[in-house]
Amino acid sequence: MFLPIRDDNPHTATPFVNYGLIAACVAVFLWQFSLGDAGDAAVMVFGLIPGHLFGTVAPDPALPIMPALLTVFSSMFLHGGWMHLGGNMLYLWVFGDNIEASLGHGRYLVFYLLCGVAAALAQSIAAPTSDVPMVGASGAIAGVLGAYLVLHPRSNIKVFVFLIVIITFINIPAFIVLGIWFVAQLMSSAAADPNAPGVAFLAHIGGFVAGAVLVFFFKKRSVVVFEPAHSRAFAVEKRPLRRRGSVPEVRRGNPWN
């Protein structure tokens, strides 16, 4: 098991927008969850359906009609389940704060939404006749990852690794963590059918590339690219899962102490 926990970049500003995006995604998902069986209908209405966007698929007359262009944005705040939401929010929490500090609050929000639009178009163009709704913040978050790779490639990411009885935390440079992630998206997209239900790998790729390019136009002038690390790479911290027994340890010397 391999999960990013935090990075070594210092916090230079309170990421109000990043907090707001996380809160919005969580609130929308709780609303979806509260709908019960009607949650599927909400996904069909507010999710992005490529066929609706390009006019190749007629909307279901039994459902409320949402303008297709607006679903490009509304779909970014919907999620398909708790794991989908949790994974996306974890990545946004770890990587989003530093990008917001490097861009500024307002520009970060615009940057995030534009990356989401690029991600949605990348997936939709590949499957213009698809009637499968696309939901999730992962395309926009992929843009944040692309920006992070440009600005902080040598920053160390503390990742959680679970190996049977050992919990290990390892500091791995961002260019390795994000590079592996991006290559995995490329390999997965080559084997996936963009018209079929599943993970929108092309959206991840489109968002990532958009973020890596757009960050040059959105970052503050004082922000440099390829910033060096702030900690030692590949430092390992091991925490065994084995617990101590109930019998106290034997101490040398006076047994009554």
Q: How far apart are CA 78 and CA 66, in angstroms?
A: 14
Give 68's pLDDT tier (boundaries 50, 70, 90).
very high
Q: How far apart are CA 7 and CA 68, in angstroms?
A: 37
Residue 76 and residue 97 in contact, taking contact as beta carbons nearer than 8 Å: no
Q: What is the CATH number of the domain that holds 47?
A: 1.20.1540.10
Q: Identify the three-state secondary structure at position 213.
A: helix
Say if 191 falls within a structural domain: yes
Give me the percent of the chain exceeding a pLDDT of 70.
88
Please report the pLDDT score of residue 245 as a whole number.
44
Say if 246 falls within a structural domain: no
Which amino acid is located at 169 in the chain?
Answer: F
Residues 131-187 pLDDT 10s: 999 999 999 999 999 999 999 999 999 888 776 556 677 889 999 999 999 999 999
Q: How far apart are CA 105 and CA 31, in angstroms?
A: 26
Residues 207-228 pLDDT 10s: 999 999 999 999 999 999 988 8
Domain count, the chain: 1
Say if 254 falls within a structural domain: no
Residues 6+ apart with CB under 8 A from 151: 98, 99, 102, 215, 219, 223, 224, 225, 226, 227
Q: Is pLDDT at 76 greater than 70 in this prediction?
A: yes
Say if 78 falls within a structural domain: yes
Domain of residue 165, residue span: 2-240
Residue 154 phi, psi (nearest 5): -100, 0
Beta bridge partners of 157: 7, 172
Say if 256 falls within a structural domain: no
Please report the pLDDT score of residue 164 as a whole number.
59
DSSP result, 56-112: SSPPPTTS----HHHHHHHGGG--SSHHHHHHHHHHHHHHHHHHHHHH-HHHHHHHH
pTM over 0.85: yes
